[in-house]
Amino acid sequence: MWAFWTSTLANVFLLLQFAMRFPAIHVSLSAAKQFQNETDRLALLEFKHQIYDDPFGVLNSWNHSQYHCQWEGVTCSTRHQRVVALTLMDRQLSGTISPHVGNLSFMRFIQLGENQFHGEIPQEFGRLFRLRVLNLLKIFIFHTNNLTGEIPSSIGNLSSLTTLALGYNNLEGNLPSEMGLLKKFAILTAGGNKLSGIIPASIFNCSAIIAISVPANSFHGNLPTNIGLTLPNLEGLYLGANKFYGNFPTSITNASGLEVLDLSRNKFEGQIPANLGDLTNLIVFDLYDNLFGNLFH
Ligand SMILES: *[C@@H]1O[C@H](CO)[C@@H](O)[C@H](O)[C@H]1NC(C)=O
Ligand SMILES: *[C@@H]1O[C@H](CO)[C@@H](O)[C@H](O)[C@H]1NC(C)=O
Ligand SMILES: *[C@@H]1O[C@H](CO)[C@@H](O)[C@H](O)[C@H]1NC(C)=O
Ligand SMILES: *[C@@H]1O[C@H](CO)[C@@H](O)[C@H](O)[C@H]1NC(C)=O
Ligand SMILES: *[C@@H]1O[C@H](CO)[C@@H](O)[C@H](O)[C@H]1NC(C)=O
Ligand SMILES: *[C@@H]1O[C@H](CO)[C@@H](O)[C@H](O)[C@H]1NC(C)=O
Ligand SMILES: *[C@@H]1O[C@H](CO)[C@@H](O)[C@H](O)[C@H]1NC(C)=O
């Protein structure tokens, strides 16, 4: 568990570091103005406009006397001065997420976890084709966003996306099958929502996937029998507290890097393969509260 989360978080921090490679801009304001992209600035102002509570005054720096690349939480690329990251985690911001964020077309990293955003995830996010990480999750603890509605199918347009973190909101409906179009998709965390339906087969077909974490939802259905072959890079599969059923996916032993397999509190049945020991990296193996008969044949 820890090894897995450490590596997941390491990925996130790696990306954060990546974002931070474009640090404060060392150009004079007048020089900066030549590069200043009005589209980005207006989109950021729209984002601010939809936030009605900011107890720490985080967005006070988002004012007209300050170049927008120097606003708190905003990171621009050094050369083109385009906004590439928006990182405002755990700032107790309340509001909705403006669809104008979809105009920040150079965006690679959005981290708005642990705030109190509510409302829906705008379809317009689907325009951020350079986006790698979309984190509206709490990963850690404390405050949780309260995003509602369905996950927009336009997520399938985010061809650079590696990480989608949407856990502990109030999202409902199905996972869009368009997610299966994302060739670089590695980490999906969406636990603690009201998501339902089956997990689209196309998602189990994304060979770059490292972790699927969707506990405490209402998903149902079987796991594909060939899951361990279609997801060879799988390290974590967290499916606890859903309504999955069917046989234990024996091919999972082919996913040799697997560290966490949590199928607890579902309705899986049948037999557990004897060659589980092939999974030498397995740290957490939780089958609690299912319908398995005799374990280990
Ligand atoms: C600002 O962004 C828009 C939209 O991406 C683009 O069309 C325009 O060329 C950019 N302007 C500058 C000065 O970079
Ligand atoms: C964002 O793009 C849409 C569609 O092109 C446009 O209508 C809107 O005015 C833009 N928003 C900003 C803040 O520039
Ligand atoms: C604008 O932001 C800067 C940087 O945080 C701050 O020093 C300045 O007081 C702000 N101006 C206004 C009018 O709030
Ligand atoms: C997503 O891509 C499809 C097909 O290219 C396009 O029709 C749709 O407008 C895109 N959605 C968004 C939100 O950009
Ligand atoms: C989350 O949003 C829903 C729907 O708007 C609302 O009923 C619920 O009380 C909210 N929960 C929290 C913790 O704010
Ligand atoms: C999964 O991928 C294979 C090979 O790329 C393809 O033939 C198949 O149609 C895909 N299945 C789904 C459900 O996307
Ligand atoms: C999957 O695992 C089985 C059982 O260990 C093995 O016989 C088979 O060759 C593996 N398949 C692949 C493609 O690695």
Domains present along the chain, CATH in parentheses:
2-221 (3.80.10.10)
| CB-neighbour burial class of residue 192 (10 A; exposed 0-12, middle 13-18, buried 19+) | buried
Q: What is the pLDDT of residue 139?
A: 46
Note whether 155 and 133 are within 8 A (CB).
Answer: no
- Name the residue with tokens 């997941």: 8
172 lines ligand 5 (CB under 6 A): no
Pairing status of strand 83-87 against strand 109-111: parallel
- Report the pLDDT value the prediction gives residue 2, as an integer from 0 to 100: 36
Q: How far is 166 from 88, CA to CA, in rounded Å?
A: 15
Cα(193) to centroid(ligand 5), Å? 12
Ligand 1 mutation target, pool 35, 38, 39, 40, most atoms within 8 A of CB: 39
Neighbours of 73 (CB within 10 A): 18
Angle at 3 between CA 215 and CA 11, to 5 degrees: 80
| pLDDT < 50 regions, the chain | 1-32, 34-35, 139-143, 297
Give bridge partners of residue 238 from the DSSP assignment. 213, 262
The sign of the dihedral angle between the CA atoms of 245, 229, 152, 43 is: positive
**Contact, 66 vs 80, CB < 8 A?**
no
- Which two three-digit tokens encode residue 99? 């669809």
Is there an atom of ligand 5 within 6 Å of 96 CB? no
- Which residues make beta-bridge pairs with 111? 87, 135
Instruction: Determine the distance separating the centroid of ligand 1 and the alpha carbon of 102, expressed in angstroms.
Output: 14
Q: Is the CB–ligand 6 distance for residue 180 below 6 Å?
A: yes
94 in contact with ligand 5, CB cutoff 6 A: no
pLDDT at position 137, please? 82
* Residue 36 in tokens: 């200043």
Three-class secondary structure of residue 59 per DSSP: helix
Q: What is the distance between the alpha carbons of residues 206 and 55, in angstroms, rounded to a whole number?
A: 41
Q: Which ligand neighbours the alpha carbon of 123 most closely?
A: 4
How high is the pLDDT of residue 26? 39
pTM for this structure? 0.82
243-247 β-sheet, strand order: 51-53, 94-96, 116-120, 146-149, 170-173, 194-197, 218-221, 243-247, 267-270, 291-292
β-strands 211-213, 187-189: how paired?
Answer: parallel
pLDDT at position 292 is 87
Q: Nearest ligand to the C-alpha of residue 172? A: 5
